[in-house]
Amino acid sequence: MMNKQIGEISRKYGEHVFRMAITHLMQVGVDNLKDADVEAVCQKMMKETPENYIMTPEFRCNILKCSVELAQIPVWDILKYIQTDIGIDGVTVHPGIIVNFKQNATCRELMTCVVPADTDDEKLEEAVNAVEKKLESYIRKTGSAYGFSFCKEIEEALKTAKIRIKDIPVDKTFYL
């Protein structure tokens, strides 16, 4: 239901305005935290939080302190972290960048893996280039790509580039 409403707002204003509105929404919160006297606010919370309140005053103070620290980080970095590193029920997230390798001539699936969200694109390109060079060398020696271990070479190239491969979280596994 909420996704539908958010989607309607995005379509109504267009993607660029929608993205800027999200940034604005978060930035307003950040701006309100910049000059906050955290200790004074926490002291007030400690005194004024009712005994039967759903959150303890200590918990509320920790939320405020965490928010102030997060306010020092650029909004899009926080959004990227949410997208890739925070599991939220009912939302499709993944723990990094999903990378898919396909064979150039046939588009046959070779390997799909997840690399950390902060992986530099240049490092990924270097790893791909290393695999392509090994494949070319293999073809020159054998006359074809038959028998070339794509997965082994991709994993080795990523490891050499110091790119850690993460498991892809799956919802179901079928053994055939």
pLDDT of the chain, 176 residues: tens digit per residue = 566 777 788 888 888 888 888 888 888 888 888 888 999 999 999 999 888 888 888 998 999 899 888 888 888 888 877 776 666 665 555 667 888 888 877 788 888 888 887 888 899 999 999 999 999 999 999 999 889 999 999 999 999 999 988 766 666 777 77
Question: In terms of C-beta density within 10 A (0-12 exposed, 13-18 middle, 19 or more buried), how is residue 124 classed?
Answer: middle
The sign one gets for the Cα dihedral 4, 6, 10, 13 is positive
How far apart are the C-alpha atoms of 121 and 126, rounded to whole Å?
9
* Burial class of residue 115 (count of CB atoms within 10 Å of its CB; 0-12, 13-18, 19+): buried
CA 44 – CA 41 distance, rounded (Å): 5
